[in-house]
Structure 1
């Protein structure tokens, strides 16, 4: 194994993904955690290990951007639920790279749906900060993110492509985020007219994933459309941490479709269930699927399993796996991001090594 100087990392946030990444950074051969930025006042001043349920690791949580910049890390890893574009701008113009798992793949949806206070597009603001500081900005995750790159890789031996579709087919009941599912609409009456809009609002970044694939395929799209099918609970569902009455939303099938001359060419689908007791219901496969129609056609499954010995009777084990596969594409990309020229990167720009995992030392 090659040895490299460790990259100094300052992490932002310790929610679901951030908690798991604190645990992972300590065993990552490329990385050294030198700081932690928290938004919750009750976390500031505490040891990062203690915050995430580990033994102390000697890193104390801070709460200001000035403290991030003063620590002079090589990179900031951002794992908040929503982007903090003001923090991004200040860190980038200070010459510090940023890798984020928060609602960013290309910036298309942020530009369209979240106007910057300056009146400029968010991508313009961050690109300018990158150029001022000589820094690099990159957003990724499992889906959207790695899932779409898997599809691009699987197209390598296909001629005359007609359609590329990636599907996330998962049971989401292990993701214990009550506020998230309330916002999306789970548990509301299936005929509530606000549900499609809530689902679209929550999943808009998947339009970015379609545009990112189109960029890899050198295909110019006319538009990316959204549609959703809704599954109603056929009985009252009590998950212990979430309740959905009979007749409320308990599953969905979402499509983001990249259109060319009225024909769908590139698609990202979200096949989610909180419970199998819905009408209609879908055959949840518990994996990520790539379907490519062309010559030849391709069908692949990306299946994720826990390491041997993990207690699968513990629901937290499943949640931990989900957070791991969301955050590790960010951690594993850091060396390539740090080596990249200044500016905003997408997964279409990274070399193959930017997606590689790491062997255990």
Structure 2
């Protein structure tokens, strides 16, 4: 049985926490929470588990490390606080504790991560003899697992496009997703963080380069493109309220280019209502969201992935899947040699071990 600490209990972390409590092969020994309102509360309260666990949330990282867990599941928001998150991760790894996580998405393709991120984490892994694995649904699954499946069905490929097409109206995450993508911003206002030069490329460029390596091609350049759509009408949704003239849809991509043409594209199309950006791509069959891969080649291949849940909205179901991408690799990561682990390092059979728990 692996002894586990859950680090954060937000949109992804609360689902990870619930799975850790439920799985018979994992033992929850600690929970980190940054919010004063959560500190001191039982883990069960933070994820709607029906019975108390006796594990109380704390913001004391040293106390959690003193528990000597086998692994920390790190789902704390990192993209808006990279320096602080890097300090937390290096401290955990240097203490000899393995980490699986869903944030710090620059590390979804660690061999192509920027040096300022990769090198401190490599050094911390070496110092502690520990391992780090970061993955999610996007960046992650769509661009490193789904795309491999699609590519394996073609004998020749001319281009490949990976897309997340999702209506975020019911996603209660304005703090990061809404603000960073610029929902509610105006055309003449300050640029949202995602639209600053190089930001999209820094987050999705690694998976593009990793795909190019796998395909055995040399890219001339990796570039980003961005586009915004402004609503003529007021929109009220869980994410936020958008007034006329404010941004209600965004489309952005990182492209790997050969001879002036994109041959690898990782694209997001996100909106806050089905009425937004009517000329952009929509999920098929009236789904709220989809992760799609389209391979142009012999033959043309298209695979669409939808997630759903009997109790939760599809955006919440996506958060459960995001948590699963890290949590399901935990056991293998704990046994792996020290260092940074990429998705291609993890045997696919290893990530389904222990999943059929709680059957009646």
So what's the TM-score if we normalise by structure 1? 0.86
Write the distance in 2 (CA, Å) between the matches of 1:49 and 1:301.
34
Asked if the contact 2:43/2:56 (under 8 Å) is kept, the reply is yes
Per-residue CA distance 1:223-279 (angstroms, 9 max, x = gap): 321112222213121226521112221112212111234332211110111122335
CA distance in 2, matches of 1:243, 1:21: 29
Q: Which residue of structure 2 aligns with residue 156 of structure 1?
A: 152
Q: Displacement, 1:49?
A: 1.2
Once the two structures are TM-superposed, the CA of residue 41 in structure 1 deviates from its matched residue by: 3.3
Query: Partner residue of 1:257?
Result: 255
Residue 331 of structure 1 is aligned with which of 323, 327, 333? 327
TM-align CA RMSD: 2.4
Counterpart of 2:91 in structure 1 is 90
Count of equivalent residues:
341
> Are the counterparts in 2 of residues 11 and 35 from structure 1 also a CA contact under 8 Å?
yes
Provide the residue aligned with 1:47 in structure 2.
42
- Per-residue CA deviation, residues 57-92 of structure 1 (Å, 9 max, x unaligned), is 111222222222211111111011115111211211
Q: 1:128 aligns with which of 116, 123, 126?
A: 123
In the aligned structure 2, how far is the partner of 1:322 from the partner of 1:151? 18
2:22 to 9, 21, 27: 27
Segment drifting more, 223-232 vs 70-79: 223-232
Shift of 1:129: 1.3
Confirm or deny: 8 A CA contact 1:334 1:354 kept in the other structure: no
TM-score between both structures, scaled by the size of structure 2? 0.86
| Cα pair 1:234 1:278 within 8 Å, conserved | no
Matches within 5 A, 1:154-303: 154-180=150-176, 181-192=178-189, 194-195=191-192, 197=195, 201=199, 204-239=202-237, 242-279=240-277, 281-285=279-283, 286-303=289-306
CA distance in 1, matches of 2:306, 2:265: 20
Unaligned stretches of 5+ in structure 2?
284-288
Distance (whole Å) between structure 2 residues aligned to residue 220 and residue 58 of structure 1: 54
Deviation at 1:124, TM superposition (A): 0.9
- Unpaired runs of 5+ residues, structure 1, are 1-5, 112-119, 311-315
Alpha-carbon distance between aligned partners in 2 of 1:96 and 1:279, rounded to the nearest angstrom: 46
**Deviation for aligned residue 1:332:** 0.6
Kept in 1, the 8 Å contact 2:195–2:226? The answer is: no
Residues 102-161 of structure 1: CA distance to partner in whole angstroms, max 9, x if unpaired?
1321257863xxxxxxxx622111111111221111110011111121111221132222
Q: Secondary structure at the match of 2:282?
A: coil
Change (3 A) 1:349 1:61: same
| Aligned residue number for residue 313 of structure 2 | 317
For 1:197 and 1:238, the matched residues in 2 are separated by 24
User: Does 102-111 or 253-262 show the bigger shift?
Assistant: 102-111
1: CA distance, partners of 2:261 / 2:200: 25
Q: Could you tell me whether the CA contact under 8 Å between 2:169 and 2:238 is conserved in 1?
A: no
Contact 1:11 1:36 in 2 (8 A): yes
